[in-house]
Amino acid sequence: MDITTKISIPNQIPEIEKVCDIVSTFGEEKGLPQKIIFAFHLALDEILTNIISYGYRDKDEHIIDIHLSLQAGALALEIIDDSVPFDPSDAPVPDVNQPLEERKIGGLGIYLVKNLMDEVEYKSDNGTNRLTLKKKF
Amino acid sequence: MIIKTEKINNINIISIQGRLDSNTAGELEQRLLPTIDQGETHFILDFSELDYISSAGLRVLLQAAKKINAVCGKMAICAVKPEVKEVFDIAGLTIIFKMFDNPDSAVKAIL
């Protein structure tokens, strides 16, 4: 049995904590392991932060949809937005072996997402971005 | 997020409480980075009441660590909760930041 739920937020940074908390509450209610809840909370935070911080060239309000889908043995999150197309697999990978002086400041968000999730799939469809995050438990 | 600061001799003890994320990291950046520019060199970050950190928070800490390193200062983090430490581990930053169990052991290490 699949359980799905949909949340929509405007593109404002303070909305991120609200939607992440909704996802965490959903996970707790469904009895998901704490590690999974933590992984999705952080991954969603990182993705939404990137979209809201860097994804829009105007000052208008945009809506971001988050679809949660609980399947047997896995949780999937689909983030749908109309921001500037960005495929996470294009993001530069930070070199985690570099010493402090050489460590670059950027790129950590996507790096965390890729390490937290089992699957990260991006599709750009006529001006709409669809990013799916999936993790098995 | 609440930031509390205390200074003991030349060591700045900064307690960061709550969440350090894209909503709050700017505040830490504005409180911490200028003090390094103003000549402060020794810092202990007390994470005993820090519940959550995202890359926005890690970014500010990395900027601070680089600045402190550039002036031959010292920074240590203490009392890191497991869920926060995990984010440092995944980001590969655990080796960069000196972490201690409590403020006392952190102070001893950076004196």
Nearest CA in chain B to A107: B55
Give the B-side interface with A, CB within 8 Å: 19, 21-23, 54-56, 58-59, 62-63, 65-66, 69, 83, 86-87, 90-93, 96
CB contact (8 A) between residue B91 and residue A111: yes
| A95: number of Cβ within 10 Å | 11
Averaged pLDDT score across all residues of chain A: 94
Domain that residue B26 falls in: 2-110
Whole-complex ipTM: 0.92
Nearest CA in chain B to A38: B83
- Average pLDDT on A4-11 reads 95
- Average pLDDT on A116-134 reads 96
CA distance B8 to chain A (A): 26
CATH class assigned to A3-136: alpha beta
pLDDT band at B82 (very low <50, low <70, confident <90, very high): very high
CB contact (8 A) between residue A108 and residue B66: no
pLDDT of B87 reads: 97
Residue in A94, A100, A105 closest to B69 by CB: A100
- How far lies A94's CA from each of A108, A110, A130, B61, B92, in Å? 7, 10, 24, 16, 9
d(CA A49, CA B99): 27
Structural tokens at position B5: 């600061």
Q: Rg for chain B (alpha carbons), in Å? A: 13
pLDDT of B77 reads: 97
Helix segments in chain B, DSSP class H: 25-37, 55-70, 82-90, 103-110
d(CA B97, CA B93): 7
pLDDT of A104 reads: 85
Residue with the bigger pLDDT between A97 and B80: it is B80
Q: Which CATH number is B91's domain given?
A: 3.30.750.24
Interface test with B, best of A93, A108, A115 (most B CBs within 10 A): A108
d(CA A54, CA B36): 28
pLDDT of A35 reads: 92
State how many domains chain B has: 1
What totals of helices (H) and strands (E) does chain B contain, helices first?
4, 6
CA A99 to chain centre: 28
pTM over 0.90: yes
Encode pLDDT of A63-117 as tens digits. Answer: 999 999 999 899 999 999 999 999 998 888 888 888 898 888 878 999 999 999 9
| A14: number of Cβ within 10 Å | 11
